[in-house]
Chain A
Amino acid sequence: MMIMQQNTWIPLFPEQASTFAGDVDLLYFYLIAISAFFTIGIVAAIFFFVVKYREREAFATPKEIHGSIALETLWSIIPFIISMTVFLGGAIVYYNQYRVPDEAMDVYVVGKQWMWKIQHATGQREINELHVPVGRKVKLTMTTEDVLHDFFIPAFRTKMDVVPGRYTTMWFEATKPGKYHLFCAEYCGLNHSGMGGWVYVMEQRDFDNWLAGNVSGQTPVEAGRDLFENKLGCASCHQGGKDQRGAVLEGIFGKEVKFTNGQSAIVDDAYLRESILNPGAKIVEGYQPIMPTFKGQVTEEQLVQLIAYIKSLSGDAGTTSQTAATAAPKASPEAAANSNMPSSETKGGN
Chain B
Amino acid sequence: MQNVDAINLENIKEEAPVNYLTNGFTLRSWLLTKDHKRIAIMYLLSISVFFMLGGLYASAIRLELLTPASDLLESGTYNKVFTQHGVIMVFLFLIPAIPAVLGNFLIPLMIGAKDLAFPRINLLSLYIYWIAGALIVFALLQGGVDTGWTFYTPYSTTFSNSYVMLVGLGVFVNGFSSILTGLNFIVTIHTMRAPGMTWFRLPLFVWAQYATSLVMILGTPVIAITVLLLALERLVGIGIFDPAIGGDPILFQHLFWFYSHPAVYIMILPGMGVISELISNFSRKKIFGYEFIAFSSIAIAVFGFLVWGHHMFVSGQSIYAGLVFSFLTMVVAIPSAIKVFNWSATLYKGSISYDTPMLYGLFFLGLFMIGGLTGLFLGSVGLTVHLTDTYFIVAHFHYVMVGGQVLAYLGGIHYWWSKMTGKIYSEFWGKISAMLVFVGFNLTFFPQFILGYLGMPRRYASYPPEFQVLNIFSTAGASILGIGLTLPVIYLTYSFFFGAKASANPWMHPGLEWRTSSPPPTENFDVPPVVTWEAYEFGEESGLDIEGARKSVVAPTV
- CB within 8 Å of B: which residues of A? 3-4, 7, 9-14, 23-24, 27-28, 31, 34-35, 38-39, 42-43, 45-46, 49-50, 53-68, 71-72, 75-76, 79-80, 83-84, 86-87, 89-98, 113, 146-148, 150, 152, 154-155, 157-161, 163-166, 168, 181, 183-194
B474 interfacial by beta-carbon distance below 8 Å? no
Let me know if B330 and A161 touch, CB within 8 A. no
Please give the number of chain B residues whose Cβ is less than 8 angstroms from any Cβ of chain A in the complex.
Answer: 104
B450 interfacial by beta-carbon distance below 8 Å? yes
B539 interfacial by beta-carbon distance below 8 Å? yes
Let me know if B349 and A34 touch, CB within 8 A. no
Q: Which of A10, A55, A159 contacts B388 (CB 8 A)?
A: A159
Let me know if B453 and A13 touch, CB within 8 A. yes
Q: Which of B284, B341, B381, B389 contacts A94 (CB 8 A)?
A: B381
Let me know if B314 and A160 touch, CB within 8 A. yes
Let me know if A59 and B385 touch, CB within 8 A. no
Q: How far is the CA of A168 from the CA of B155 in the complex (A)?
A: 18
Q: How far is the CA of A147 from the CA of B362 in the complex (A)?
A: 44
Q: Quick one: which of B281-338 are within 8 Å of A by CB?
A: 283-286, 288-292, 314-316, 319, 322-323, 326-327, 330-331, 333-334, 337-338
Q: What residues on A are CB-neighbors of B70 within 8 Å?
A: 193
Closest 3 CB pairs of A and B: A154-B455, A165-B243, A93-B382
- CB within 8 Å of A: which residues of B? 1, 70, 75-76, 79, 146-148, 150, 152, 154-155, 158-160, 242-244, 248-250, 283-286, 288-292, 314-316, 319, 322-323, 326-327, 330-331, 333-334, 337-338, 340-342, 344-345, 347-354, 362, 365-366, 369-370, 373-374, 376-377, 379-386, 388-390, 450, 453-455, 457-464, 466-467, 469-470, 508, 537-540, 546, 549-550, 553, 556, 558
Q: How far is the CA of A49 from the CA of B553 in the complex (A)?
A: 25
Q: How far is the CA of A290 from the CA of B415 in the complex (A)?
A: 74
Shortest Cβ gap from B449 to chain A (Å): 10
Let me know if B330 and A87 touch, CB within 8 A. yes
Q: Which of A76, A146, A192 contacts B79 (CB 8 A)?
A: A192
Let me know if B383 and A93 touch, CB within 8 A. yes
Let me know if A62 and B314 touch, CB within 8 A. no
Let me know if B385 and A83 touch, CB within 8 A. no
Q: What residues on B are CB-neighbors of A57 within 8 Å?
A: 351, 550
Not counting A83-B379, A87-B326, A187-B79, a sample of 9 additional A-B residue pairs whose C-beta atoms are within 8 angstroms of each other reads A9-B469, A42-B369, A49-B347, A63-B349, A79-B334, A94-B326, A164-B243, A188-B155, A189-B160
Q: How far is the CA of A99 from the CA of B315 in the complex (A)?
A: 16
Shortest Cβ gap from A212 to chain B (Å): 31
Shortest Cβ gap from A294 to chain B (Å): 14
Q: What residues on B are CB-neighbors of A86 within 8 Å?
A: 330, 376, 379-380
Let me know if B469 and A45 touch, CB within 8 A. no
Q: What residues on A are CB-neighbors of B330 within 8 Å?
A: 80, 83-84, 86-87
User: Taking A60-B284, A192-B75 as contacts, is the C-beta distance between A39 and B344 under 8 angstroms?
Assistant: no
Least CB separation from A31: chain B residue: B377
Q: How far is the CA of A55 from the CA of B550 in the complex (A)?
A: 13
Let me know if B466 and A58 touch, CB within 8 A. no
Q: How far is the CA of A23 from the CA of B386 in the complex (A)?
A: 11
Q: What residues on A are CB-neighbors of B323 within 8 Å?
A: 91, 94
